[in-house]
Amino acid sequence: MGFFNNILAKLGIGADSAAPATDTTAAAPAAVPSAAPAQVVAAAQSVALVDVIAQLEQRAKANAQKLNWRTSIVDLLKLLDIDSSLAARKELAVELACPADLMSDSASMNVWLHKTVLARVAANGGNVPPELLD
């Protein structure tokens, strides 16, 4: 996943940043076998939490353009200094397995891509508000 890994790297999320925290919390789910699945997921997601919100808000304030990363994949990519062209977004969509029926409509693809990127950032240790994951 080259393109998506670039997004994670720009946010400071990756194998190098997650390694220390993984070692200290890896036993948490196994230590509580009777824990509800949601609790196990929450424990796993607490590994190496990166303050994505603060990073993106700071970048948005410092940017001359008024970019809304909370609703736009194009603005999110621009804030991260990543190519936001249609071709680049299509490449990312293919990488993240966007449904074929959405690929022909750029607006639908963009909505799917925005939600998917934020969900995957959260799954990799970024703090993304629940309202952005719905």
Contacts of 49 (CB under 8 A, 6+ apart): 21, 125, 126, 127
Which tokens belong to 92?
A: 């990312």
In a domain, 29, yes or no: no
Q: pTM, whole model, 2 decimals?
A: 0.74
In a domain, 54, yes or no: yes
Which residue's structure tokens are 């999110």?
A: 76
Residues in the chain: 134
In a domain, 27, yes or no: no
Looking at the DSSP assignment, which residues form a beta bridge with residue 50? 126
The helix (H) or strand (E) run that includes residue 74 is helix 73-79
Distance CA 65, CA 74 (A): 12
Mean pLDDT check: name the lowest of 5-14, 71-80, 108-117. 5-14
Which residue's structure tokens are 């190496």?
A: 48
Between 32 and 81, the higher pLDDT residue:
81
Predicted confidence at residue 25, as pLDDT, reads 31
pLDDT band of residue 50 (cuts 50, 70, 90) is: confident
Distance CA 98, CA 86 (A): 14
Number of domains composing the chain: 1
Which tokens belong to 127?
A: 């703090």
Q: Which of 66, 71, 57, 45 is nearest to 124 (CA)?
A: 45
In a domain, 113, yes or no: yes
Range of the domain at 118: 2-22+35-132
Q: Which of 69, 29, 31, 70 is nearest to 46 (CA)?
A: 29
CA distances from 11 to 7, 20, 45, 79, 122 (A): 6, 17, 16, 10, 11
